[in-house]
Amino acid sequence: MTSPFAVSSPSPATIGLSLAAVGRERATVFDEHMGALVVLRHKDVSAALRDHGTFSTRFYAASPAVETMMITHDGAEHTRQRRIHNRFFSPGASARYAARIAPIAERTFGDLVGRERSDLIEDALARYPMEVFLDLLGIPNELGDQGLAWVRAIVAWLGSPMDEQLAAAGQAAFDELCGYAGTLIEAEVADPGDNLLGEIIRAHLTEGGFTVEACTVAVVSLLLGGLETTIQMLSATMSSLLLNPSALDRVRADRSLRDAALDESFRWANPSAGLYRLVTADTVVAGVPVGAGSMVYLCIASAHYDRDAYPDPEVFHLDRHASHLGFGLGPHYCVGAPLARIEVRAALDALLDRFPRLRLDPDQPLAFRYGARGFVQHGADTLPVLLS
Ligand code: HEM
112: domain CATH number?
A: 1.10.630.10
Ligand 1, atom 12, lies closest to the CA of 71
Q: Which residues contact 371 (CB under 8 A, 6 or more apart)?
A: 5, 377, 378
316 within some domain: no
The Å distance, Cα 154 to ligand 1 centre, comes to 16
Query: Residue 71 belongs to what domain range?
Result: 4-304+322-386
How far is the centre of ligand 1, averaged over its atoms, from the C-alpha of 337 (Å)? 7
Reported as a single tens digit per residue, the pLDDT across 87-119 is 999 888 888 999 999 999 999 999 999 999 999
310 within a domain of the structure (yes/no) = no
Ligand 1 pocket, residue 224 CB under 6 Å: no
Q: Which of 85, 197, 221, 229 to mutate to test the pocket of ligand 1 (most atoms within 8 A of CB)?
A: 229
- Does a structural domain hold residue 191? yes
Quote the pLDDT of residue 1. Answer: 62
pTM of the model: 0.95
* Least confident among 46-55, 87-96, 275-284, 344-353: 87-96
Cβ-based burial of 162 (10 A; exposed 0-12, middle 13-18, buried ≥19): exposed
Strands (DSSP E) contained in 225-377 are 274-279, 283-285, 288-290, 295-299, 359-360, 368-370
Q: Hey, what long-range contacts does 74-81 have (CB within 8 A, 24 or more apart)?
A: 74/331, 78/331, 78/332, 79/331, 80/207, 80/209
Q: Whose CA is nearest to atom 17 of ligand 1?
A: 334
CB atoms within 10 A of CB 97: 20
- On whether residue 315 sits in a domain, the answer given is no
Q: Is residue 174 part of a domain?
A: yes
334, 341, 342: which to mutate for ligand 1, most atoms within 8 A of CB? 334
What tens digit of pLDDT does each residue of 183-235 get? 999 999 988 788 899 999 999 999 988 999 999 999 999 999 999 999 999 99
Residue 153 forms part of a structural domain: yes
Amino acid identity at 230: T
**287 domain residue, yes or no:** yes
Measured in angstroms, how far is the CA atom of residue 363 from the centroid of ligand 1? 35
**Ligand 1 geometric centre to CA of 196 (Å):** 17
| pLDDT band, very low/low/confident/very high, at 349 (cuts 50, 70, 90) | very high
Do 228 and 155 touch, CB atoms closer than 8 A?
yes
Q: What is the number of the ligand 1 atom nearest to the C-alpha of 227?
A: 2
> For the chain, what is the domain count?
1
Distance CA 351, CA 363 (A): 21
Q: 362 CA to middle of ligand 1, Å?
A: 34
CA-closest candidate to residue 218, choices 88, 62, 375, 341: 88
Q: CB-hemisphere CA count at 13 Å for 77?
A: 10
Q: Write out pLDDT tens, residues 287-312.
A: 999 999 999 999 999 999 999 999 99
Give me the pLDDT at residue 92, please. 84
Please enumerate in sequence order all residues whose Cβ is within 8 A of that of 277, keeping only pairs 6 or more positions apart, or say none. Answer: 48, 49, 55, 56, 57, 59, 295, 296, 297, 298
Q: Is the per-residue pLDDT at 172 higher than 80?
A: yes
